[in-house]
Amino acid sequence: LLAGSVGPRRLAAEPGAVAELVQLCGRLPLALALAGERASRFPGVSLAGIVEELRDQRLRLDTLRDPQDAGTDLRAAFSWSYKALRPAAARFFRLLGLHPGHGFSLSSAAALAGADLREARELADQLAAAHLLNQPGTDRYQFHDLLRVYAAELVETETTADDRAAALRRLLDWYLATVAEANKLVRPDLLTEDITLGPPPVPAVHFTQHEQTIAWYATERPALTALVGIAADRGWTAHAWKLAWLLRGFFAERHDRDDWITTARAAVAVTRDAGDNTGLQYSANNLGSAYLRTLQPDQALEALEEARAASESGGGTALAVAILSNLAGAYYVRAEYAEAERYALQAVHLARDHGQRTFVPHALLNVSASRIGLHDYDHAAEAAEAAHEAFAELGDRYHAALALGNVAEALAGAGRHDEAEKAGLDALAELKELNADYGTIDVQITLGRLKHRTGRGREAAGHWTEALTVSQRLGDPRVTEIQALLATVPTVEPSPGDAPYP
pLDDT in tens, 240-271: 999 999 999 999 988 899 999 999 999 999 99
Rg of the Cα trace of the chain? 27
| One domain for residues 204 and 283 | yes
Contact 467, 444 (CB under 8 A): yes
What pLDDT does residue 313 have? 81
Would 501 be classed as within a structural domain?
no
Would 476 be classed as within a structural domain?
yes
Would 396 be classed as within a structural domain?
yes
Domain end position, chosen among 43, 72, 101: 72
User: How does pLDDT run across 5-38, given as a tens digit for each residue?
Assistant: 566 776 677 787 767 666 656 555 555 555 555 5
| One domain for residues 121 and 135 | yes
Query: Which residues face 473 on adjacent strands?
Result: none
| One domain for residues 217 and 268 | yes
Q: What is the CATH number of the domain that holds 155?
A: 1.10.10.10
Q: Which helix (H) or strand (E) holds 10?
A: helix 8-13
| One domain for residues 296 and 200 | yes
| One domain for residues 220 and 288 | yes
User: How does pLDDT run across 485-502, given as a tens digit for each residue?
Assistant: 999 998 744 444 434 433
Would 334 be classed as within a structural domain?
yes
Q: What is the CATH number of the domain that holds 346?
A: 1.25.40.10
Domain end position, chosen among 23, 57, 72: 72
Q: What is the CATH number of the domain that holds 265?
A: 1.25.40
Using a cut of 0.75, tell me whether the model's pTM lies above it. yes
| One domain for residues 289 and 348 | no
Contact 304, 281 (CB under 8 A): no
Contact 4, 36 (CB under 8 A): yes
| One domain for residues 8 and 62 | yes
| One domain for residues 184 and 289 | yes
| One domain for residues 199 and 292 | yes
| One domain for residues 283 and 184 | yes
Would 348 be classed as within a structural domain?
yes
User: How does pLDDT run across 190-246, given as a tens digit for each residue?
Assistant: 998 899 998 877 788 999 999 999 999 999 999 999 999 999 999 999 999 999 999
Domain end position, chosen among 419, 444, 472: 419
Range of the domain at 13: 2-72
- Report whether the peptide linkage leading into residue 297 is cis, meaning its omega lies within 30 degrees of zero: no
| One domain for residues 251 and 343 | no
| One domain for residues 213 and 276 | yes
Would 374 be classed as within a structural domain?
yes
The count of structural domains within the chain is 5
Taking residues 355-375, what's their average pLDDT? 94
For helices 29-41 and 47-55, the axis angle rounded to 10 degrees is: 130
Would 323 be classed as within a structural domain?
yes
Contact 237, 228 (CB under 8 A): no
Would 425 be classed as within a structural domain?
no
What pLDDT does residue 497 have? 44
